[in-house]
Structure 1
Amino acid sequence: MRIAECASCFKNQTSGDLERIRFVYKGFIMKITKRPHECEQCAKRRHTEIFNRHNAENCLAAATLGGLEINWWRYVKIIQRGDAIRKHGATRVLLDLGVLSLKETGRYSILNKGMLVGPTANRFLGLYFKRKSDAAAFASIALMSDSSYEIIEIGGAA
């Protein structure tokens, strides 16, 4: 761990390590990854700018008294029809909010005709749902014409 100057703002000190940061922004609990050679403030600014751009007027996610509410219909439309920047931004918002995860163990996915289906990052990296209810909501919209899907827990009890 080497202490250096932030490569973004050139003001704050930082280390060359990846670091998980958790903070509250506009009522949302954000869980982000600070890049190496980036200070905490710049990491927060980068993620909140992405969040504001891709969740304008709570079109994708809303903080409610009951917790976090995701507009899965809008997300499915973005990943089906949106350009690459919108797809990446919308997916980044859901990753930062902890709705989607890169880790598979103990998470949920959708099994349809023997294949795992669901959102991806960079077209190749599968993403997993932290809540079974989110996987079911996504599947009911994304696979509207096919009701033969199954929600499965990855690495969980069968």
Structure 2
Amino acid sequence: MKGFGSRAAGIAFAMLGAAAAAQEQESGRVGSGAPEDFFMEITRGEDGTPVLSPDQFTLALGGYYRFNVVCPEDLTSETGYHFEATELLENAHIRVLSVGETDIEFYMQGLTFRAIECDAAGSARFSFHPMRPGVYPIEVRDQGVPPKEAFGRIVVE
């Protein structure tokens, strides 16, 4: 929990900055320069169901984005979360996948991956260009039997 308050404030500030920068992305034009960051925090509700905050994003076709999946709680392989956005990943040009607050990066250059799992507090992110307009579902489930699920979506215009 040490430093969580400043991390949460940083996430909130980045989310506000990303909302303002979202207007700069132009639909149909492939973005360049640094990607625009947006964040999804996954926590556990009182009933144990995953909670996504926020649970919807609107992006410009061809824009350049970095999706940050944040798991701020202490987790284990039995209590962690499984994040999937399969249809988005199938309709996007993936650039870079990175893990945590370190300098570990995977340069994808068009390749894809299937899912992100949080088995500890931390984050993972991927940068991409959405290449087809549409509404793409996000699914997050825990490791329970049966799993508890939460859903979100990404709208590409």
**Whose Rg is larger?**
1
- Give the TM-score, by structure 2 length: 0.29
Greater per-residue helix proportion: 1
Greater per-residue strand proportion: 2
- Give the TM-score, by structure 1 length: 0.29
